[in-house]
Structure 1
Amino acid sequence: MTPIEEYGAGTPEVNRPLRADARRNRARVLAAAEAVFAAEGVGASTEAVARRAGVGIGTVFRHFPTKEALLEAVLVERMRALVEHARRAAEDEDAGTALFGFLEHVVEQSATKNAFADALSGAGVDVTEVVGDVRGELLGAVGALVTRARDAGALRGDVGAAEVVAVLVGASHAAMWAPDERTRATAVRVILDGLRKMP
């Protein structure tokens, strides 16, 4: 028996337009899932998400028929938020500050994002396929920040978006291994400083 059948939730609302109230409920569930998983880890229950959202468990399963589907949606939403962050940063007059501020933000978010990805991979989900479209948008937004920073003389001339992403992955892993906040901040700063153009 699927979770939907178990709770009598009916058919999941996928691939068809949602009513306004259904859209609001979906947004509430996603926001609650983001908060619950960030606070308790990806092992937190869907019941905890429903309680946080103030909806019944059937509502959760109507939108997200499995916990993996919920994790997928939260992961995609987190990446969409990064896209929007990068696009807002591109409006900053100081291109160097915009780029490095964004990179630091991504590192701060990386542990939770990686936890989602690991949980999905462990459940047999192809994470690359799940985030394919939004990942392309994110790379494009990062590329725009990189180009602006390089043109402004804030970024090394031999560095492009691919190198920045590779360094970002390394900085994110370094942050995860740091034993305390001071070490984490120093390690990340040292790594990201390697991207800066020398005076």
Structure 2
Amino acid sequence: MTGQRSDARRNHARVLAVAETEVAAHGAQASLERIAREAGIGSATVRRHFPTRRALLNAVFAQRVRALGDLAHTLDGADDTRAALLTWLRELLAYAVAARGLADALSYEPLGDDTAGDSCGAVIETACSPLLRRAVADGSVRGDITTHDLLTLVVGIALATEHRSDPAREAERAFRLAVEGLDPTTA
């Protein structure tokens, strides 16, 4: 963006600010036309800055997703690898529940199929993988669990609970149930 004219930079920032509000209100299917209208520009300008819905969603979620990557890096040195992995997954889940649209964006962004290494899905997968590898290596997580399995679990819980009266509480309960299972000694 450094080579852009000042009006183009302002338009980009305005579109992104409006998109964040619209995605928070309407999820990943927020109307691009409404975003353009609310930003006071034409839809062609929105598409020039964000050629696809996926590009717009990646931009909307980029800062928080980078923070999740930073958290994973911090947790990667923890002694309790299972706790580190679960802490990170809980943070991802909390954000996916709070930031309406992230779970949708991840659900139609197949992991491993993305060529853009800076997409939300790629950043999240890259963040989770070392945490999972360490937990598997020390035997605190089953060896057949994949990053894709864990992210599918988080996305599924976020999508299943997003319209509940208290989505954060319901998501945490579902996550705990998935992690601890049906074993009565873990209740």
| TM bracket, shorter-chain basis | 0.5 to 0.7
User: Which residue, 101, 105, 128 being the options, matches 1:112?
Assistant: 101
User: Which residue, 172, 176, 186 being the options, matches 1:189?
Assistant: 176
RCO higher in structure (CA 8 A, sep ≥6): 2
Shift of 1:112: 1.5
Shift of 1:100: 2.0
Give the RMSD, CA atoms, in angstroms: 4.1
Uncovered stretches (5+) of structure 1, i.e. residues with no partner: 1-12, 51-55, 122-126
Do residues 142 (structure 1) and 128 (structure 2) align?
yes
Native 8 Å contact 1:171 1:192 kept in 2: no
Call closer, same or farther: CA 1:96–1:26 in 2, change over 3 Å: farther
Shift of 1:21: 5.5
Q: Map 1:48-87 to 2 at 5 A.
A: 49-50=38-39, 56-58=40-42, 61-65=44-48, 69=51, 71-78=53-60, 80=62, 81-87=64-70
Structure-2 separation of matches of 1:159 and 1:21: 48
Q: Tell me the TM-score normalised to structure 2 length.
A: 0.62
Do residues 103 (structure 1) and 86 (structure 2) align?
no
Counterpart of 1:57 in structure 2: which amino acid?
Answer: I
Q: What are the superposed Cα offsets for residues 140-199 of structure 1, whole Å, 9 maximum, x if unpaired?
A: 2221221233346543344332332343344334434756444332112211345xxx99
Percent identity for Structure 1 against Structure 2:
25
Counterpart residue number, 1:26: 12
Counterpart of 1:155 in structure 2: which amino acid?
Answer: V
Q: Tell me the TM-score normalised to structure 1 length.
A: 0.59
